[in-house]
Structure 1
Amino acid sequence: MNFIDLKTQYQHLKTDIDARIHAVLDHGQYIMGPEVAELEAQLASYVGVKHAIGVSDGTTALLIALMALGVTHGDEVITSPFTFIATGEMIALLGAKPVFVDVDPATYNLDPNKLEAAITARTKAIMPVSLYGQCADFDTINAIAARHKLPVIEDGAQSFGATYHGKKSGALSSIACTSFFPSKPLGCYGDGGACFTDDDELAKKMREIRVHGQDRRYHHPVIGLNGRLDTIQAAVLLAKLPSFPLEVEARERIGARYNELLKDVARVPKLAEGNSSVYAQYTLEVDDRDNIAAKLKELGVPTAVHYPIPLHLQPAFAELNLPEGSFPVAEAAAKRVISLPMHPFLDEATQDAVVAAVKQALA
């Protein structure tokens, strides 16, 4: 049994993917070839924003967004402690301080009720995470940010394709970032990512930062980095994008079916009103998580934990001096969450087998 099934997806799209890759091999423009601009136009159209900037990976997307906003040494950026390390890591890499705000116990996304208390004179931006495929509460977050004249960056690495009150993830804030890591809802065959914005000036800055701060060949107005998206990865994404809406529908259907079948035995994902989820992970909360994972492994069901240690308890952030108890909701979730096999090609028979195993393990 596969946790994520990329092989079946490839077989469905093999002709288109192979043709797209071979077109790149034929023209030989492996860096910033024509497929990158083509993909950016299609991504911007899909999300509903003016600008999409293809970049090398989701982590670099966050870094480029922060750099475009001028985040630097001594600044503070507010984010969630319950996320992948990249979210806090890119803030720290620029010499800024990650300021954590605990998460909502229902959605695991940043709790906007605790946001305002974390804002100081040094706050430069707010970076909520749209975890597990569901967008954070952007209406409330954006309203608080607007009062304090702060930009908002959506870390949408797990939520590409999800909607929030009818708008897509990526179109909800000053800048949004996503990842096209192979296991993401829309994944390439290596690393890849994108930044999204409606702001022309921010788009220009991010495009320059992506190519070493260059506005024209060998002319560098700003310090940048090498954040380019490979042409072959853009080609793979172009082949996958036409069928992506159908895969999003499948993810929603499979997630809803899991919820119905497991709601009586475990804490299943909760969707906030007005949200859809792409279930980048299908995540339960259970007691005695490690024992349950071991039992499921014996029964042939692969699982994963996203994420077992909140960021404030990671050794890399020890200097922040945020001991256990600082963010109790995130800490409790980290001890209890477990993710089950989830992908758009998960058939009902396999899903039924997963559900049966979960019920047996919890019995």
Structure 2
Amino acid sequence: MCCRLQFTHSINWLLAVGVLLALLIFTASHGTVQIPLNAIPSLLFNTAQKLNDEQQFWRDVLLEIRLPRVLFAALAGGVLALAGATMQALFRNPLAEPGLIGISSGASLGAVCAIVLGGGSFAILAPAAFLGSILATALAYHLGRRYAGMAGLLLAGIAINAICGSLMGLFTYLADDNQLRSLTFWNMGSLAGASWQRLAMLAPFLLLISIWIMRYWRAMNALLLGEREALHLGFAIKGLRRKLIVLVALLIGPLVAATGGIGFVGLVVPHCARMLLGADHRRLLPASLLLGAIALVLADYIARIAVAPAELPIGVVTSLIGGPFFLWLLLSRKS
């Protein structure tokens, strides 16, 4: 019986990975420029000399624009969902997500400062957003540890979110027209800046941190029982809390710098994974990673084709879909 269940789980994981791969290929072929699916193998594996002008154009679009973008969408969606699942375990609250303790708002404030004061190039914006997320997280942790449990951290996060929001409003008021346009589009989220260089810079780091977080699945399962019970099971709660908060900040800071604000993925996707697989974090964390990748690839596809040849900000798409879906989840739960 045990072997049969393990075999079933393995088949399910393989199917989910297959769905993601198929979705990556399908979405990479569709957009303003339609690339025939049956042409993709030849575009990928044939040399340029064997392609005609139209096929060479398709190849350039596929390799230089579409593939880095869909891969970056998968990476961003998986990381956001994993961070959300981690925060929900840490707070023992299904409404928790990375922005709860100021990680996202700190990164956003850093990015806004870079756009208004530093010109907004990615070389300045990315370090500023990362530094903002780390400083906001450190401040929230320093203030929150004065109180027992997670209540202090939550209250500190609420205060930091409010302060960051006010400062972003001030910088928005001081911005000129070009900066204001950049701020508006950045706050709505976008994957338009995806490239092989950005993937090479972010993917190894984010995947390494993701694997590191998933190693703490036993501790997250223990936290479901309560902090006192987890302490009796041998887990150092204060050290565990600090490590998980830092790891989530290391995930979200660089990602927000690259994509802007993308909402609801970290909140809704872990719910869906929990409904499918239960609360065991050994399966919940990788499932959130995988489902988050699928969800954001689909959202990016909708953003690209909904108003083609123009493009919707992906944060608008995730909010339009994720908000009503989350309300449905809340309303459909038995009281």
Q: With the length of structure 1 as denominator, give the TM-score of the two structures.
A: 0.25
If asked which structure has higher relative contact order (CA below 8 Å, sep 6+), I would say 2
Higher strand fraction: Structure 1 or Structure 2?
Answer: 1
Higher helix fraction: Structure 1 or Structure 2?
Answer: 2
Q: With the length of structure 2 as denominator, give the TM-score of the two structures.
A: 0.26
